[in-house]
Structure 1
Amino acid sequence: MEKQTAMERYDLHTHTQASDGMNQPAENVRLAKEKGLTGLAITDHDTVAGIAEALLAGKELGLDVVPGIEISTRVGEKDIHVLGYFVDPEDNRFKKRLARLRSVREERNGLIIAKLQQLGLSITLEEVKAGLSRPLRPDESLGRPHIADTLVRKGYVSDMRDAFDRYLAEGKPGYASLPRISPEEAIVWIREAGGVPVLAHPGLYSDDDLVRSIVERGKPAGIEVYHSDHGPEEELRYAAMAEKYGLIVTGGSDYHGVRQGVVFHGDLGGRTAPPGTVERLRQTAAAAWAEGN
């Protein structure tokens, strides 16, 4: 790719059907091209299954595709997500580790369904999978948005946001979580797969002391300052934190596609990374690889 300019626009947080997004990976790439982006990252939850298709589409359309991941971790009672950029999607040890995480996610989904049933909602995991309208591949994963989609289709809630606000968000009656790896472990996994770890959407955790603790202990390379659920105050706060700790500032929409006419979390390209971010991530990954080899 040519040297990046101040006009570059990268959405570094998007999801596909490989996890809980609505679109095929190639469709995310096509949309990014249509919106005039320079490139995007594919960052599915606990899987790299969508990367190969996206890379091929990017090559065909002349769009820069960053291979990524979003790993689910846990600290106490709080779910924390860690993004990884320029991971090697063919790293066998990494893929085996991710497979273990998906098995935990599958067990968690079963617990959520059981809680919803106890609340009097008639819903099964089979119905959730049927809502995909296609077979679920072994390297793909279901998430809460899939369950929310089923709740909407069955008329229990008005839309995706209503499903999370009433049942599926942390602290709500249908929420469930299981022990997972720590953010620090996820950071190590990403680095060992050749990638650059970045703490995802810190504003969603509502605990800046915890965010600082993760940054100080795990030493990620970056922090996601610009996100669809961050307002101007969060952006300023986390930009200052990035400067204090010498972190790369990243940004992305957390695009999951459109369900029942609602975009979740934000539209593709609605949040982008500052110019030069991808080059910094690329150089960081290359330097780490050179040091390790």
Structure 2
Amino acid sequence: MRYSYHMHSCHSDGTDTPEQLINLAQIYGIDAVALTDHDTVDGVEAFMTAAAGTNIETIPGVEISSRIGQKHVHILGYGIDIKNTALLELLDDLTAKATEYTKYTFEIYIAQKYGYSWEQVLNHNRKRKGFYLSDVFSAMLKDGLFSGWEQYPGFVDYCFKFVEQEYSAPIENSLDVIKKSGGKVFLAHPKLMKLSLDEELIIFKQMKDLGLDGIEAYYPEHSPKECNWYELCCEKLDLKVSGGTDWHGKARLKAPLYFVGNVHVV
């Protein structure tokens, strides 16, 4: 089967609408997809509605900015109730912090360098609730400061030289709201934690004790050997295996659209 249980839409830092994601799934014969926008479920209803009447398995999801100790991690929630009050309260708080981070980064490192204003960013994003670097870049692209999305990775690298994402929820909170909303909890892209194998296994065990259901073993930046390692960890710890391409549309041009394999998250 063809699947991707890790996709982003324009409701966070992707460039495709939820409807466009379903259209892509139809065009490329993808069997199962999950919308996992950063710290928001605002696009999920449109995503599910667009898939109605198709043979595509669609899963309501979210990717929550979290931390365990001092380590920042991303937690994927699958099969969630997108109207759960506790979940929405946490996501709204994180979205507000994401906007604060984006505006701070813009005002300190971008505005003067490019001769651009926050009001110009807002002119292209009047209906947005949360703002990400992709929204800043998209506005500047429309106003001619960049020539194409292939320049976006360099723009992000420039910003991250000065300030990295610091906002996050304690992992206990993230797991709690996902569980209370009826969802399953998976750790996203474990390689990006930049830990040794021994350290990874220790933190996986800690997360399992807190209620982790699975690990995203298949990810574009995981080598085949690393995928096998994460599958082995899941086997050792009795966790489920997931996989996702982290699709962001034009904001991540080199990402594949889907994987092939027998992987199920719910």
Q: TM-score, normalised on structure 1?
A: 0.79
Q: Please list the CA deviations of residues 234-278 of structure 1 after superposition, one character each: whole Å capped at 9, or x if unmatched.
A: 21222222222121111111111115xx616x1321x35x41x32
**Is 2:231 the partner of 1:231?**
no
Are the equivalent residues in 2 in contact too, given 1:225–1:250 (CA < 8 A)? yes
Ranges in structure 2 where 5+ consecutive residues have no aligned partner = none
CA distances 1:162-218 after superposition (whole Å, capped 9, x unpaired): 1223x133xx12x24334212232122211111101000011221145543432222
Where structure 1 has 5 or more consecutive residues not aligned to the other structure, the ranges are 1-7, 283-293
Alignment of 1:134-213 (within 5 A): 135-136=127-128, 138=129, 141-150=130-139, 153-155=144-146, 159-165=151-157, 167-169=158-160, 172-173=161-162, 175-208=163-196, 211-213=200-202
Structure 1 residue 57 displacement after superposition? 1.1
In structure 2, the residue matched to 1:253 is: 245
Work out whether 1:36 is the aligned partner of 2:24. no
Aligned residues: 259
CA contact under 8 A between 1:42 and 1:69: conserved in structure 2? Answer: yes
* Selected match of 1:9 from 2, 26, 30: 2
**SS at 1:55 equivalent:** helix
Matched, 1:60 2:53: yes
Instruction: After TM superposition, give the deviation of residue 12 of structure 1 in Å.
Output: 0.4
CA gap of 1:88–1:49, structure 2 versus 1, over 3 A, is same
- Answering whether residue 203 of structure 2 is matched by residue 214 of structure 1, we say yes
Structure 1 residue matching 2:100: 3-state secondary structure: helix
Identity between Structure 1 and Structure 2 (%): 28
Per the TM alignment, residue 128 of structure 1 is displaced from its structure 2 partner at its CA by: 3.2
Following superposition, the deviation at residue 22 of structure 1 comes to: 0.8
The offset of 1:156, in angstroms, is 9.9
Which residue identity does 1:187 align to in structure 2?
A: L
Note the C-alpha offset of 1:80.
1.4
Tell me the residue number matched to 1:101.
Answer: 94
Are the structure 2 counterparts of residues 58 and 155 from structure 1 closer, same or farther at C-alpha, using a change threshold of 3 Å?
Answer: closer
Q: What is the CA–CA distance in structure 1 between the aligned matches of 2:31 and 2:111, rounded to whole Å?
A: 47
> How far apart, CA to CA, are the structure 2 residues paired with 1:115 and 1:236?
42
The structure whose RCO (Cα within 8 Å, separation 6+) is larger is: 2
Q: Provide the secondary structure at the position in 2 that maps to 1:154.
A: coil
Displacement of 1:68: 0.4
2:94 touches 2:167 (CA, 8 Å); kept in 1? no
Q: Aligned partners of 1:84 and 1:177: how far apart in 2?
A: 20
**Distance in 1 of aligned mates of 2:159 and 2:200:** 23
Equivalent residue of 1:190, what SS?
Answer: helix
The answer to whether the Cα contact below 8 Å between 2:86 and 2:177 also exists between their aligned partners in 1 is no
Indicate conservation of the 8 Å contact 1:257/1:267, yes or no: no
1:111 touches 1:176 (CA, 8 Å); kept in 2?
Answer: no
Whole-Å Cα distance in 2 between the matches of residues 200 and 240 of structure 1?
16
After superposing the two structures, state which structure 1 stretch, 114-123 or 79-88, moved more: 114-123
Q: Taking structure 1 as reference, are residues 101 and 128 closer, same or farther at Cα in structure 2, changes over 3 Å only? A: same
Task: Kindly report which structure 2 residues correspond to 1:84-99, keeping only aligned pairs within 5 A, or say none.
Answer: 84-99=77-92
SS of 1:161's equivalent in the other structure is helix
TM-superposed deviation, 1:118: 7.8
Equivalence for 1:20: 13
Counterparts in 2 of 1:180 and 1:121: CA distance versus 1, 3 Å: same
